């Protein structure tokens, strides 16, 4: 029969007493350091039974250290919780395969990280202060969008075991945005004609490009990225399936991710035929910049369309000049060549035999 381990009270603290066959003198005692309470007696008794079992099976730790360790205070290492920027970097990498390249580069690598870097605090415990800062320093729409992204990031981090709580849950839903009607502001027929005539006279290289925008209503990036492989042999149909991002210098799918078959009327066919090289390569662009490169949307808008100052050089924009001359009522960006909403096909129907879904009030 294995010797029993005694449980004693020594000056209000519990200690274990080992049999003399195991240890002698002061070595017989394991001081638990625990006050003599019913709960602590249960804990000490469990260790005493473990020692008795180890003696019986010949597995006793002769140093007794493993038993003494059971009574020492457990030291917990507080794991530092990652801050918002650290979480966002990992979240962005997780989302990367699921995103369009432009969305990843512009929103996940630039826009949202820049917002986070400007925050006065970046700890998750500062979520309320972060929300208030965004509302004070940005529009309700921007604050709401940033909070939606931060909540998605923290939800992923919680699901991944990186944090225990998502402090941004439902926070964006409490933000009310002012209701505004979409202001569709297309150019009038007279304004369109004035713009085309100005390009014909002063920037003839860009005239076909601008004319194409007005005739098709496509997005600027779709026109810039258009290649001859997207135009059929007789220029009677265009396939819009790609767009070119001038900022990132990359090709991508259209904004909606869909491919559109666009029938060409006679005026559009004549335009395409007039700019198509005799031996055009399918991969060649339909429209180029004056130096033979893809048109840079930013430079075209700033230097040709609107006008700007770059260092000592001043660029007089054609549309801004037309506004000054009273030929265009107010400045609108190139995007307005494609208003109103694109779910309608509203190219100018000069060819009465051409079938279209909708004709813009211009025509």
- With bands split at pLDDT 50, 70 and 90, how would you rate the model's confidence at 249? confident
Higher pLDDT, residue 24 or 202: 202
Alpha-carbon span 333 to 331, nearest angstrom: 7
**Overall average pLDDT of the 259-280 stretch:** 93
Confidence of residue 362 (pLDDT cuts 50, 70, 90): very low
CA–CA distance, 273 with 238 (Å, rounded to integer): 12
What integer is the mean pLDDT of 231-256? 87
Instruction: Tell me the per-residue pLDDT of 306-332, one tens digit each, with 9 for 90 and over.
Output: 999 888 899 999 999 999 999 999 998
Pairing of strands 313-316, 13-17: unpaired
Counting residues of the chain whose pLDDT is more than 90, the rounded percentage is: 56
Q: What is the pLDDT of residue 76?
A: 62
Q: Across all residues in the chain, what is the average pLDDT?
A: 86
pLDDT greater than 60 at residue 361: no
pLDDT single digits (tens) 112-164: 999 999 999 999 999 999 999 999 999 999 999 999 999 999 999 999 999 99
Rg (CA), the chain: 37
- Degrees to nearest 5, angle at CA 71 with 69 and 75: 75
More confident: 204 or 186: 204
Mean pLDDT of all residues in 196-210: 96
Give pLDDT, residue 348: 39
Confidence check: pLDDT of 346 > 80: no
The predicted-structure confidence for 15-70, as pLDDT tens digits, reads as follows 988 888 777 776 778 899 999 999 999 998 999 888 888 888 888 888 888 888 88
Q: How far apart are CA 138 and CA 143, in angstroms?
A: 6
Residue 353 has pLDDT above 80, yes or no: no
Q: How far is CA 88 from the centre of its chain?
A: 10
pLDDT at 274: 94
- Is the omega angle on the peptide bond into residue 340 within 30 degrees of 0, that is, cis? yes
CA 2 to CA 177: how far, in whole Å?
A: 77
Whether residue 358 is predicted with pLDDT greater than 80 in this model: the reply is no
Q: Which residue has the higher pLDDT, 245 or 85?
A: 85
- Give the lowest-confidence range in 12-16, 169-173, 174-178, 288-292: 174-178
The mean pLDDT of 299-310, rounded to a whole number, is 92
pLDDT value at position 312?
Answer: 86
- For position 2, what pLDDT does the model report? 60
Please answer whether residues 218 and 272 qualify as being in contact, where contact means their C-beta atoms are separated by less than 8 angstroms. Answer: no
pLDDT tier, 343 (very low <50, low <70, confident <90, very high otherwise) = very low
Q: Sorting pLDDT into bands at 50, 70 and 90, what band is 75?
A: low
State pTM to two decimals. Answer: 0.57
- The mean pLDDT of 332-344, rounded to a whole number, is 60
Give the CA distances from residue 69 to residues 4, 26, 43, 46, in Å, rounded to whole numbers and listed in that order.
Answer: 20, 18, 13, 14
């Amino acid at each position: 029969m294995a010797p029993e381990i005694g449980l004693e009270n020594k000056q209000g603290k519990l200690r274990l007493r080992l049999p003399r066959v195991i240890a002698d003198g002061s070595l017989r005692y394991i001081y638990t350091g625990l006050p003599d309470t019913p709960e602590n007696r249960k804990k000490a008794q469990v260790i005493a039974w473990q020692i008795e079992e180890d003696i019986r099976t010949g597995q006793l730790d002769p140093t007794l250290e493993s038993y003494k360790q059971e009574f020492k205070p457990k030291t917990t290492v507080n794991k530092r919780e990652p801050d918002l920027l650290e979480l966002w970097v990992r979240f962005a990498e997780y989302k990367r395969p699921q995103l369009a390249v432009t969305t990843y580069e512009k929103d996940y690598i630039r826009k949202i990280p820049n917002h986070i870097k400007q925050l006065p605090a970046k700890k998750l415990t500062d979520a309320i202060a972060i929300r208030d800062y965004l509302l004070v320093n940005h529009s309700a729409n921007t604050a709401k969008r940033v909070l939606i992204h931060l909540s998605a990031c923290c939800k992923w981090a919680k699901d991944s075991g990186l944090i225990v709580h998502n402090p941004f849950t439902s926070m964006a839903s409490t933000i009310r945005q002012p209701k505004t009607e979409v202001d569709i502001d297309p150019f009038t027929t007279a304004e369109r004609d004035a713009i085309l005539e100005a390009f014909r006279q002063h920037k003839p290289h860009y005239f076909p490009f601008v004319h194409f925008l007005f005739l098709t209503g496509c997005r600027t990036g779709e026109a810039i990225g258009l290649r001859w492989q997207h135009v059929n042999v007789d220029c009677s149909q265009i396939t819009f399936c790609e767009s070119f991002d001038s900022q990132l210098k990359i090709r991508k799918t259209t904004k909606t991710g869909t491919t559109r078959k666009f029938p060409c009327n006679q005026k559009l066919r004549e335009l395409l035929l007039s700019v198509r090289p005799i031996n055009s390569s399918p991969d060649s662009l339909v429209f180029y910049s004056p130096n033979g490169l893809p048109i840079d949307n930013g430079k075209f808008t700033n230097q040709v369309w609107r006008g700007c100052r770059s260092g000592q050089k001043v660029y007089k924009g054609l549309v801004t000049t037309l506004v000054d001359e009273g030929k265009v009522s107010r400045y609108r960006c190139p995007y307005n060549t494609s208003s109103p909403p694109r779910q309608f096909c509203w190219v100018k129907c000069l060819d009465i035999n051409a079938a279209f879904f909708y004709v813009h009030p211009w025509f």
